[in-house]
């Protein structure tokens, strides 16, 4: 169920917890009316509040809170009364030199994420916080230590985030990838974030440690930052786990620290260590009031939750128990509603899922409707169309829509009814008595050879539109 991790020796087990920061797709920022917009001119979406000017005050964005609670419920969290807190540290892109976040009383706690492979990863918390501005270092190769000067863009300062903290229950790189992609699917399904890793609206930090296989201990972990893609995450986790195993093997042990993933070098490099870690001096944000969601509010959120990916997969596998992989892909593409409707219209579910998975992997499939799809699969199931013909008709449906039977006729496929094929076969037998005798009387090899001959002739005559299996059945039937 959980993928094998090739880079670790069998006697070591990977232990990973992920911290995922997600930018919420609200119209405005978390504490002010500035636009929450990607790629504006630097420092244009700013005001006294998100610049942290003296005297400014925050006003909590109700939309952001609703989004955060919706995400919490989608992750099966308990939505609790919560407070905002100040996390104090100096950094130029932190306009107030503290981050307004949640500390000991987060909005969402104790959820879980059910992955496509059936495994479950616990969610410790999903809390609301503000994003920081963006610093760019100019000169000296863009590194902070060598830069001539630095520029700060506060457009991102105060953008609402939810940080989703998993329990350290991820055991393989594949599972970590599945976790992030499932989380992404959920975010897109509930519409609270565009969840684009390449644009930074979804960011992943990985807490990595290893332990002897079978042990339950949690060993010293390192937090890996600067992960820019799901692929980098896999490489970073793999590298870091290997580093820990090597340290233990040489009698040393890792020490708790933040490390940075170096994409070009393919390794992690040390950042801040625990010893000089900052004391954030958390305390309750006095400029904001506690958030106390009522049972009715939570119930209303539950009511409005759309069907989530896990539920959608479940719905498909109920219909087609042998097509779990296809179900995952079809749900990811958002084609499952079409599939369910086509099954309801009479299509065979397993065959349908195979067709959709393999032959509907296109961007725009809106011209395909459930009735047409069901009719097409019905024709294939009844043997009226071969696999090849079915694909051709489906391609036509994708491009132009329409009725599959009409399309099949227009393509000349309808001649391939059983009777027509039988007529062709009988004609061939009459035209080639020698070959027919060799087929009827020959040994196994000779028979197979002659079957190939007849099938080839039929295919030539039908321009490849005959069903090979039906031809073989006819030949065998005529041979007695």
Cα distance between residue 222 and residue 207, in whole Å: 5
Helix, strand, coil % in the chain, rounded to nearest 5: 40, 20, 40
Going by their DSSP bridges, the two strands 257-262 and 222-227 should be labelled as: parallel
Least spacing, CB of residue 49 vs other proteins, in Å: 9
Tokens read off for 364: 């725009």
Residue 408 binding partner per list Zn ion, other proteins, none, with a CB distance cut-off of 5 to 8 Å that depends on partner kind? none
Comparing CB distances to other proteins, the nearer of 251 and 286 is: 286
**Which residues bind to Zn ion, rule: CB under 5 A?**
32, 34, 47, 49-50
| 283 is an interface residue for other proteins by CB under 8 A | yes
Among 2, 35, 51, 247, binds other proteins (CB under 8 A): 51
Least spacing, CB of residue 277 vs other proteins, in Å: 10
Among 9, 27, 44, 53, binds other proteins (CB under 8 A): 53
| 90 is an interface residue for other proteins by CB under 8 A | yes
Residue 149 binding partner per list Zn ion, other proteins, none, with a CB distance cut-off of 5 to 8 Å that depends on partner kind? none
Cα distance between residue 86 and residue 103, in whole Å: 8
Comparing CB distances to other proteins, the nearer of 214 and 286 is: 286
Q: How far lies 347's CA from each of 147, 154, 369, 392, in Å?
A: 64, 54, 12, 18
| 19 is an interface residue for other proteins by CB under 8 A | no
Cα distance between residue 225 and residue 207, in whole Å: 9
| 143 is an interface residue for other proteins by CB under 8 A | no
Residue 34 binding partner per list other proteins, Zn ion, none, with a CB distance cut-off of 5 to 8 Å that depends on partner kind? Zn ion
Comparing CB distances to other proteins, the nearer of 150 and 181 is: 150
Contacts of residue 207, defined as CB under 8 A and 6 or more positions apart, other chains included, come to: 16, 17, 18, 19, 168, 221, 222, 223, 224
Comparing CB distances to other proteins, the nearer of 59 and 441 is: 59
Comparing CB distances to other proteins, the nearer of 248 and 282 is: 282
Cα distance between residue 36 and residue 54, in whole Å: 22
Q: Which residue has the tokens 């499939």?
A: 365
Tokens read off for 308: 């989530």
Positions in the binding site for other proteins (CB under 8 A): 48, 51-60, 86, 88, 90, 92, 95-98, 150, 152, 279, 281-283, 286-289
């Amino acid at each position: 169920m959980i993928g094998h991790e090739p880079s670790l020796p069998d006697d070591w087990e990977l232990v990973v917890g992920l911290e995922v920061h997600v930018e919420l797709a609200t119209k405005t920022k978390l504490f002010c009316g500035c636009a929450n917009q990607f790629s504006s001119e630097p420092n244009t979406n700013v005001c006294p509040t998100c610049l942290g000017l003296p005297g400014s005050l925050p006003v909590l964005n109700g939309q952001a809170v609703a989004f955060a609670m919706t995400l919490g419920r989608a992750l099966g969290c308990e939505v609790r009364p919560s407070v905002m807190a100040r996390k104090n540290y100096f950094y130029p892109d932190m306009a107030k030199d503290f981050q307004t976040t949640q500390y000991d009383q987060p909005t969402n706690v104790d959820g879980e994420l059910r992955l496509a492979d059936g495994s479950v990863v616990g969610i410790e918390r999903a809390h609301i916080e503000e994003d920081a501005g963006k610093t760019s270092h100019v000169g000296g190769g863009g590194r902070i230590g060598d830069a001539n000067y630095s520029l700060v863009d506060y457009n991102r300062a105060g953008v609402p985030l939810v940080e989703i903290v998993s329990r350290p229950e991820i055991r393989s790189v594949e599972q970590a990838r599945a976790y992030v992609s499932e989380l992404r699917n959920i975010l897109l399904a509930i519409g609270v974030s565009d969840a684009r890793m390449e644009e930074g609206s979804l960011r992943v930090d990985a807490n990595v440690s290893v332990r002897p296989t079978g042990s339950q201990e949690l060993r010293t972990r390192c937090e890996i930052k600067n992960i820019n893609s799901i692929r980098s995450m896999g490489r970073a986790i793999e590298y870091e786990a290997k580093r820990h195993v090597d340290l233990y093997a040489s009698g040393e042990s890792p020490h708790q620290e933040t490390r940075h993933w170096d994409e070009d070098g393919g390794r992690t490099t040390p950042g801040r260590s625990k010893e000089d870690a900052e004391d954030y001096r958390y305390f309750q944000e006095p400029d904001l009031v506690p958030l106390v969601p009522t049972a009715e509010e939570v119930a209303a959120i539950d009511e409005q939750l759309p069907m989530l990916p896990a539920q959608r997969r479940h719905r498909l596998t109920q219909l087609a128990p042998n097509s779990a992989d296809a179900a995952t892909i079809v749900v990811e593409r958002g084609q499952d509603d079409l599939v369910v409707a086509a099954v309801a219209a009479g299509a065979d579910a397993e065959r349908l899922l195979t067709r959709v998975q393999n032959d509907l992997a296109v961007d725009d499939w809106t011209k395909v409707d459930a009735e047409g799809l069901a009719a097409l699969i019905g024709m294939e199931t009844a043997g009226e169309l071969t696999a090849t013909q079915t694909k051709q008709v489906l391609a036509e449906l994708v491009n132009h829509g329409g009725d599959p039977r009409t399309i099949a006729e227009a393509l000349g496929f309808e001649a391939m009814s059983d009777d027509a094929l039988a007529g062709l076969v009988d004609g061939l037998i009459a035209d080639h008595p020698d070959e027919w005798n060799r087929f009827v009387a020959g040994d196994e090899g000779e028979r197979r050879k002659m079957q190939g001959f007849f099938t080839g002739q039929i295919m030539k005559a039908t321009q490849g539109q005959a069903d090979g299996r039906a031809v073989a059945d006819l030949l065998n039937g005529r041979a007695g």
